[in-house]
Amino acid sequence: MPSFNGVESVDVVKGPGGPVIGPSNLGVGGYVNFVTKAPYFDRWHGAFTFTLGNLVEGGSSYLRPEWQLDFGGPLIKDKLAIRVSYLGREADTYYQNVKDRTQDLFVALSFIPTPALTFDYTAQFNEERFNENEGFNRVSQQLIDNNTYVTGPITPFFFGTTFPVGGFISPSADGTFHLVKLHNYQILTSPQDSDYGKRFLTQLISKAQVSQDFQIVWRALFEDTQTRKNEAYGYREYNPIDNIFDTRLELHWDLHLLESTSTVNGGYAKDGKTPLSTTVENPGIVNHLVAGVSYRHEENRAYQDFTNETFVPYDLSQGPNFTVLPTNVIFGGRLIPGSGGYTATPSASVESRLNDFGIFAEDSINM
């Protein structure tokens, strides 16, 4: 899940990103810019927040212990400053069997060796253990309209003797189905489900102010993510490699065209006779030109197994008594070497590498 521990604010920008932002793929309607927390140079600041839980009307309240410690200040006056933010969470959620266990550490450093040279460095490591909300099974119009759920055993059919891969809900003796009221928090997630992810993200932004109208900016980012998922109804996912390295060199140049200075009548002095003049500067046409080069490398290895996703057999009205789908189910995926028992379907497994080079130029004109 996304982490906002290191985020100070969020800019939601309407319209497609410009050449400096890069191709927006399907995001032509807008993009989101995450502004990370910055160190304090004036003095030391600190804040601690704690959340115990959520009070839900109807008796479905749940504990959600979450704490965040955020502090920072100058290490060397006007030269070096730091900021640290730690977030911990040991939470339940409104939905049954959906947990959220998070450890998240964010560090930011700013170094200004000279007034014309700045370095901003950030690093973040977060680890999460949680269960995904799988929603309902046995969906009917009654369930959508008023939470009425079709309960009862399943008459299975087999493609072998290991586990039923399908089946039908068995009606009562009179041919009707037994209906019960289902709560919104009673979902398909099993107590045995496990979702895990960890990520390390680091970024360095260097800026050199060569002159009043010319600046050089170099950005470098590296991200390493690993995830795995094991769902009782038959879905498994194992992603041991998901790396991104992105770097960009930008040249910022403000060019003034038709710039002029003129003198206009400014009235008279207090004696009413001596004329006064005022100097007016006309900036003319200001071009803010940004041009540069970029390089991005991505490497990914991902395994998925969704050969058998048996949703129907689970009766949500019976509580969280789920049967874990065995790994040796008929037609199941193959074991992944060194994965600790995770399986994968060959057609749903991916190994990819991407190298993307780009050049860009953008000119903003103010008249």
Residue 245 tokens, joined: 């390295």
Q: What local confidence, expressed as pLDDT, does residue 163 receive?
A: 47
- Angle value at C-alpha 365, between 363 and 367, nearest 5 degrees: 170
364, with CB counted inside 10 A (0-12, 13-18, 19+), is exposed
Residue 301 resides in a domain: yes
Average pLDDT of the chain?
A: 84
Radius of gyration of the chain (CA): 30
41: left (phi over 0), alpha (psi -120 to 50) or beta: alpha
Residue 79 tokens, joined: 């030269």
Residue 2 resides in a domain: no
CA distance 54 to 57: 10
- Looking at residue 311, its amino acid is F
Residue 243 tokens, joined: 């790396």
pLDDT along the chain (367 residues), means of 10: 90 82 69 91 96 80 92 96 97 88 97 96 96 86 89 63 53 73 86 91 97 95 95 85 96 82 65 67 81 96 82 77 52 75 82 93 86
Residue 191 resides in a domain: yes
The CA-atom distances, in angstroms, between 234 and each of 81, 322, 342 are: 50, 12, 11
Residue 1 resides in a domain: no
Give the domain extent around 337.
Answer: 7-366
CA distance 172 to 153: 10
CA distance 248 to 246: 7
- For 184-228, the pLDDT digits (tens) are 888 888 888 889 999 999 999 999 999 999 999 999 999 999 999
The beta strands (E) that lie in the chain are given as: 7-14, 30-36, 45-54, 62-76, 80-92, 99-114, 117-130, 148-151, 154-157, 166-169, 178-181, 194-211, 214-230, 236-257, 260-268, 275-282, 285-305, 334-335, 343-344, 350-366
Residue 335 tokens, joined: 């074991």
Identify the residue whose tokens are 């810019």: 33
234: left (phi over 0), alpha (psi -120 to 50) or beta: left
The CA-atom distances, in angstroms, between 11 and each of 34, 171, 223 are: 6, 54, 22
Q: What local confidence, expressed as pLDDT, does residue 160 receive?
A: 47
Q: What local confidence, expressed as pLDDT, does residue 322 receive?
A: 59
CA distance 161 to 330: 8
Q: What local confidence, expressed as pLDDT, does residue 266 receive?
A: 64
The CA-atom distances, in angstroms, between 150 and each of 29, 49, 95, 156, 306 are: 41, 44, 20, 16, 25
**Number of compact structural domains in the chain:** 1
CA atoms within 13 A on the CB side of 242: 15
Helix (H, G, I), strand (E, B) or coil at 333: coil
Instruction: Single out the residue of 121, 118, 125 nearest to residue 108, CA to CA.
Output: 121
Residue 113 tokens, joined: 């060796």
